[in-house]
């Protein structure tokens, strides 16, 4: 278990945990891993996902309405870890559920559940002292977001405080699929590389095999989120693991032959 990208680009796949239900999230994650995903981001659903577009908002709303809790997400994290010891797993959350759980208690529980790292959407480096301390004490990798609007001084702090990889946001805006990759994404990845040797994963709007392939030209990994969540939304729960596996395979397929 570790964050390791076995091919170029590697693939990070996001799920809103608990949508359509926890067992299906687990099965879909396993299918994604088996079809080439290097890292699974397990999203903790939150009532107020202000960095997310309509697709992930709807998924969060469904998962919250089903009563999905952070402790439930830690539960399936452990099951996925047990079933796939080599896969990378990142817990992805807004701050409030973690603050309510207790930062220290969360870090211990995340470690016990076999998570490799944590990404908190609304945690910036300036506020992260205590968060980093508990991450380090528990051997968890903190992943910070880097934005096209971040000046170099911020990118440096973000890169120096991230472990595992740096998550570059391809464009300003919220999560969601789009038809073309943002033109300023490559510039951001190049700026991040001045400050770190860590892999750089690019997300937000990466939706197709063509996008993933294009990301591979300049970044180490692609993060696919809304496209997966949208697929889940329109697929029966029973068929979702197969559909996700196939989609993930198609995303990787475009790469392996390259």
Partner 1 sequence: MGTTATMTRPAPGVLNSTPGRFGAYGGRYVPETLMAALLELDAAYAAAQADEAFHTELNGLLKDYVGRPTPLYFAKRLSETLGGAKIYLKREDLLHTGAHKINNALGQAMLARRMGKQRIIAETGAGQHGVATATVCALFGLECVVYMGEEDMRRQELNVFRMRLLGAEVRGVNSGSATLKDAINEAMRDWVTNVRTTFYILGSALGSHPYPTMVRDFHRVISKESKRQILEHEGRLPDAIVACVGGGSNAIGAFYEFIPDANVALIGVEAGGRGTALGEHAARFQKNGGGVPGVLQGTYSYVLQNEAGQVAATHSVSAGLDYASVGPEHAMLHDSGRATYTSATDDEALDAVRVLSRTEGIIPALETAHAIAEAIKMAPKMGKDKIIMVNVSGRGDKDIGIMTREMDLGGAASSR
Q: Which residues bind partner 1 (CB under 8 A)?
A: 46-51, 53, 57, 61, 64, 67, 69-71, 94-104, 121-132, 144-151, 154, 156-158, 160-161, 169, 172-174
Distance of alpha carbon 182 from alpha carbon 8, whole angstroms: 20
Which of the following is catalytic: 41, 79, 116, 220? Answer: 41
Distance of alpha carbon 69 from alpha carbon 97, whole angstroms: 8
What does the DSSP assignment read for 212-229?
A: HHHHHTT-SEEEE-HHHH
R_g of the chain, CA atoms, integer Å:
16
Distance of alpha carbon 221 from alpha carbon 217, whole angstroms: 10
Is residue 8 within 8 A of residue 216, CB to CB? The reply is yes
Known active-site residue 72? no
Q: Which is nearer to partner 1, 43 or 241 (by Cβ)? A: 43
Known active-site residue 122? no
Q: Which is nearer to partner 1, 67 or 85 (by Cβ)? A: 67
Tracing tokens 């051997």 back to the chain, one arrives at 139
Distance of alpha carbon 120 from alpha carbon 44, whole angstroms: 10
> Closest distance between partner 1 and the C-beta of residue 169, in Å?
6
- Phi and psi at 91, nearest 5°, equal -90, 130
Which of the following is catalytic: 19, 38, 52, 220? Answer: 52
Q: Which is nearer to partner 1, 47 or 82 (by Cβ)? A: 47
Q: Which is nearer to partner 1, 23 or 124 (by Cβ)? A: 124
> Closest distance between partner 1 and the C-beta of residue 31, in Å?
27
Q: Catalytic residues, which ones?
A: 41, 52
């Amino acid at each position: 278990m570790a964050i390791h990208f076995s091919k170029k680009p590697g693939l990070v796949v996001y799920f809103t945990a608990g949508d359509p239900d926890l067992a299906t999230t687990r099965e879909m994650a396993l299918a994604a891993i088996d079809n080439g995903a290097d890292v699974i981001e397990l999203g903790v659903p939150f009532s107020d996902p202000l960095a997310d577009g309509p697709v992930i908002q709807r998924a969060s709303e469904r998962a919250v309405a089903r009563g999905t809790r952070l402790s439930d997400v830690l539960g399936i994290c452990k099951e996925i870890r047990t079933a796939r010891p080599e896969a990378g797993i990142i817990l992805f959350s807004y701050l409030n559920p973690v603050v309510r759980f207790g930062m220290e208690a969360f870090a211990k529980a995340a470690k016990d559940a076999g998570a490799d790292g944590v990404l908190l959407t609304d945690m910036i480096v300036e506020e992260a002292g205590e968060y980093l301390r508990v991450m380090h004490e528990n051997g968890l990798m903190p992943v910070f977001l880097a934005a096209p609007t971040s000046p170099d001084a911020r990118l440096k702090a973000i890169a120096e405080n991230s472990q595992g990889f740096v998550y570059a946001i391809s464009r300003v805006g919220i999560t969601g699929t789009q038809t073309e990759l943002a033109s300023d994404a490559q510039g951001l990845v190049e700026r991040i590389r001045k400050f770190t040797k860590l892999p750089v994963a690019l997300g937000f709007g990466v939706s197709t095999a063509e996008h993933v392939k294009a990301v591979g030209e300049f970044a180490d990994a692609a993060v696919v989120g809304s496209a997966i969540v949208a697929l889940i939304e329109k697929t029966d729960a029973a068929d979702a693991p197969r559909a996700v596996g196939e989609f993930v395979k198609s995303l990787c397929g475009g790469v392996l032959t390259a």
